[in-house]
Amino acid sequence: MGSNIALKEDDIKGVKMAAKISIPVLRIDAREKAGGWTHYIADYEFDNLQHGRFLRSERARAKIIEIRKPDFPEGYYYIDASDIPPGGKNNIQMIKDDWRVFADGDVRYIGETIALILGPEKQIVLDLLNQIEVVYEDLVPSFTFQDALSCKGGAIHGTDNIFAEFLLNIGDVDNAFPGAVRVVEGVYETGFQEHLYMETQGIVATWEDEKITLYASSQCPFYIRKSVAGTLGVPLGDIRVKQAATGGAFGGKEHFPDVIATPLAVAVNKIKKPVAMIFDRIEDISFTCKRHPGRISIKTGLDRDNNIVAMEIDTLVNGGAYESSTPIVLQRAIIHGLGVYRIPNARIHGRAVATNTFPSDAYRGFGAPQGLFAIEMHMSHIADEIGMPVSQFKRKHFIKTGDITITNAKMHDDVKLPGMLAKIEEMSDYSEKVKKYEDDPLRGIGLSFVNHGGGFTGNGEQAVIKGVVKMKRLEDGKAGLYVSVVEMGQGLQTALRKIASKELELDYLDIVYDNPDTDIVPDSGPTCASRSTMVVGFLVQECAKKLKIKWDEGVGAEAEHVYTHPEEFVWEQETLQGDAYPSYGWGVNVVEVELDPFTYEVKTTGVWAVWDVGVTIDETIMQGQSSGGVIQALGYASIEKCELKNGAFMQRTMADYTIPTSLDFPEVHTVFIDNPYKYGPSGAKGAGELVFDAAPPAYAEAVQNAIGKRIYEIPVTPEMIMEALR
């Protein structure tokens, strides 16, 4: 396969780097972390601390007939649904509240919380836990898409096991297919992925000042407050949540901490003593949410000139036993279903199903990586079928500014993909290498294009979040910044300080910003959806402008800024029609590989990335995001296999579930292009998830290019390659 793309001077000239704010500064949190002084939740000290462990379901689907408990010594407790106070609910308030705090009467997945055992000595808590016997009556469990759709064993959710179902349509697919001269079809599958943040989940719930206060490793302190208040049936203000330094999250600490916080709060409400729940790694891998597995079927019709005339996509994601944020993940998977391409007639049918597996939830990318893997591989398969170079076929279909998107809106972004392609050609020698590896049975190279919508889908920022930020003039020429979005490794504490200090003409070190405490900061929304810099950062910028005007009022001068949705973006939530996102980040990746013909192991020999994130708020931080996101995604594409056996994850330790080490991948060569977005701080757009999206299809394309067989599934394991080459 060769390529006939000519590099245009203009394309490269259009790529311009480094606004002033992009110039790196030292990260505000780095010194303390490098010294080992930062306190994560397991490092806190509390008087009279009680240690909790969950009694968990050992069955995927069963009735609980009886729970046989030993006698508990004084000071040791068994907490279950019966301890929820009157007025409270045995439900966790997430987007829906179907997930139960404690299983009651039946269990729906392996690991489901049945009770919380706690007391002063860890070892005695474990001994008690081991003596408890749960008597089950097994029911027929449902694990696969097929099980779910046929309601095997009866529906787990509603009457049909469908958590959510959406249909998106543009043009006239049914009339367009008959005009196609060629039809290409494929079914693409992606697996579970474990977040494997280096710090496991952990929360300590305490009774302080007549109030339940939780210290949490968390992305979303206000989510925890909402869920705990809902479970206990108390006003939101009765619960206080303080974020502890968070050792990585990647979506895994978005809603899942609610599942730990609610039982702990029920216990503290009863015993009025602090209770800690710090997961060990086996517990964390076995019993926390994973990325939704996806199965995406695509059928495409082409005309005589190899233009796509119609595309039909069927998307399935496995939500597990409870809904959590599954419908929103599905929305993102289908809205990103056409990737970066302009398809005149397209229909996407999406369904999220319920199974008796651990509930799936947010993971960096939030559905987009599944949809983008499928469309990118499919585009490469079509190119292969028609004998056109992949880069040429993909480029031919690039969406342009003003084109119609799958939600029947105009693409507002200034789409710079052609320039980005030219840039990555220059960096990686992609087309030359495609030619070079054509007859090489062991080497291959892949090229992928992605976009990622920043912020909540549709009008969610306005209708659901309504983010608020506050600033205040403090003593000594400093300014306080009050937001609920958290530092979790992505550099937000530094980025937001830079944004605020730019407007106030202060040094970034003069912006005072603590880990959020729900009693102190306003709710600026959760730390997710690539929204913290783009959306909350913009609120900070606008708030800082207001404070600047009031600065001369002296110490104590305050300003507040509330999110308003730009009027030019229109959205209808019921039909998912309109501007799904106000802006997109864009990306191009090239991955180069070499196959070991004896072991079928794949060695990655080169990785390149070009991103459009508007403007980088800090070049060093964003280089870190790119390198970390791409390597995490290469793990997803290659070695991070997470399989179910009878409803339990077979990988339980860091020895079974392996993530990339320093020896597994070469360095990621990254360039950011300049393309400011008017509603982003200094022009910045969302970035944290975008940098995950592109590597999996680029890697899989490189492997298929090397072995000369199509790849439809990630992770691409040596076993799969061996099968394909047989």
Partner 1 sequence: MDKIKVTMTVNKKTVETEIEPYARLLDVLRDNFGFTGVKEGCGIGECGACTIIMNGKKVNSCMILAAQAQGSEILTIEGVENADGTMHPVQEAFLEKGAVQCGFCTPGMVISSYHLLNKNPEPTDLEIKEAISGNLCRCTGYKQIISAVHMAADNMKK
Nearer to partner 1, 114 or 495 (CB): 495
* x/- track of binding to partner 1 for residues 604-623 (CB under 8 A): ----------------xx-x
- Which residues are CB-neighbours of 598 under 8 A, at least 6 positions away? none
Q: Is the Cβ–Cβ distance between 85 and 269 less than 8 Å? A: yes
| Residue 221 exposure: Cα atoms within 13 Å on the Cβ side | 30
Shortest Å, Cβ 32 to partner 1: 8
DSSP code for 407: T
CB of 399 to partner 1, least distance (A): 29
- Does residue 636 belong to the site contacting partner 1 (CB under 8 A)? no
To 5 degrees, how large is the angle CA 275–CA 213–CA 363? 85
With CB under 8 A as the contact rule, the residue among 653, 678, 722, 725 that binds partner 1 is 653
Q: DSSP assignment of 310-361, as one string? A: EEEEEEEEEEESS-TTHHHHHHHHHHTTTTTB--SSEEEEEEEEE-SSPPP-
Per the CB < 8 A criterion, the answer to whether 194 and 651 are in contact is yes
Element (H, E) at 488: none
Q: Which two tokens stand for residue 242?
A: 């303080």
d(CA 193, CA 636): 7
CB 624 → partner 1: shortest distance, Å? Answer: 5
Which is nearer to partner 1, 649 or 679 (by Cβ)?
649
Q: State the alpha helices, DSSP H only, in 653-717.
A: 690-693, 695-707
**In the numeric block, which tokens belong to residue 519?**
């009693």
- 450 or 469: CB nearest partner 1: 450
Q: Is 671 in the site for partner 1 (CB under 8 A)?
A: no
- Taking CB under 8 A as the criterion, which residues in 246-265 touch partner 1? 246-250
Q: Determine which residue in the list 88, 111, 257, 660 makes contact with partner 1, applying CB under 8 A.
A: 660
**Nearest distance in Å: CB 381, partner 1:** 29
> What is the spatial distance between Cα 230 and Cα 90, in angstroms, rounded to a whole number?
9
Residue 195 or 531: the one with the smaller Cβ distance to partner 1 is 195
Least distance in angstroms from the C-beta of 474 to partner 1: 26
* 210-249 residues near partner 1, rule: CB under 8 A: 245-249
Dihedral angle over CA of 363, 365, 366, 370, nearest 10: -110
The residue among 3 and 200 lying less far from partner 1, judged by its C-beta, is: 200
Piece in contact with partner 1 (CB under 8 A), picked from 133-141, 192-200, 445-453, 524-532: 192-200
Q: How many residues does the chain have?
A: 726
String of contacts with partner 1 for each residue 269-288, x by CB under 8 A: -----------xxx------
- What residues between 453 and 512 interact with partner 1 by CB under 8 A? 488-491
Among 629, 688, 696, 715, binds partner 1 (CB under 8 A): 629
Nearer Cβ to partner 1, position 490 or 704?
490
Using CA atoms, how far apart are residues 686 and 336, in angstroms rounded to an integer?
A: 15
* Shortest CB 423 distance to partner 1, Å: 19
Which one among 4, 9, 20, 36 touches partner 1, defined by CB under 8 A? 36
Give me the helix-helix angle, 695-707 and 368-386, nearest 10°: 30
Using the rule CB under 8 A, which residue among 67, 654, 720, 724 binds partner 1? 654
DSSP per-residue letters across 386-406: HT--HHHHHHHTB--TT-B-T
* Using rule CB under 8 A, residue 129 touches partner 1: no
200 lines the binding site for partner 1 (CB under 8 A): yes
49 counts as binding partner 1 under rule CB under 8 A = no
CA 279 to chain centre: 21
Residue with tokens 């360095």, as numbered in its chain: 667
- Give the type of residue at 328: I
* Cα gap 333→187, rounded to integer Å: 15
**From candidates 4, 20, 37, 475, binder to partner 1 by CB under 8 A:** 37
Least Å distance between CB 717 and partner 1? 20
Nearer to partner 1, 29 or 314 (CB): 29
**Residue 647: CB partners within 8 Å, gap ≥ 6?**
60, 61, 109, 110, 141, 143, 356, 357
148's CB contacts (< 8 A; 6+ apart) are 142, 156, 161, 318, 353, 354, 355
Beta strand pairing call for 479-482 and 511-512: parallel
Count of residues of this chain found to bind partner 1 when the rule CB under 8 A is applied? 58
Instruction: Give the x/- contact pattern for partner 1 in 317-356, rule: CB under 8 A.
Output: ----------------------------------------
Shortest Cβ 621–partner 1 spacing (Å): 7
- Between CA 248 and CA 267 the distance in angstroms is 27
Binding partner 1 (rule: CB under 8 A), the pick from 23, 26, 236, 562 is 26
The nearest distance, CB 52 to partner 1, in angstroms, is: 17
Closer residue to partner 1 in complex, CB, 4/123: 123
Least Å distance between CB 30 and partner 1? 4
Task: Name which of 32 and 719 has its Cβ closer to partner 1.
Answer: 32
Least Cβ distance, residue 696 to partner 1 (angstroms): 15
| Range 349-408, binding partner 1 (CB under 8 A) | none
Restricted to residues 517-556, the positions that interact with partner 1 (CB under 8 A) are: none
Identify whether the C-beta of residue 521 lies closer than 8 Å to the C-beta of residue 483.
yes
**Min CB(456)–partner 1 separation in Å:** 24
Q: Spell out the alpha helix ranges (H) of 40-171.
A: 122-131, 145-149
Q: Contact positions toward partner 1, by CB under 8 A? A: 24, 26-27, 29-40, 42-43, 195-200, 245-250, 280-282, 488-491, 620-621, 623-624, 626-632, 653-655, 659-663, 665, 667-668
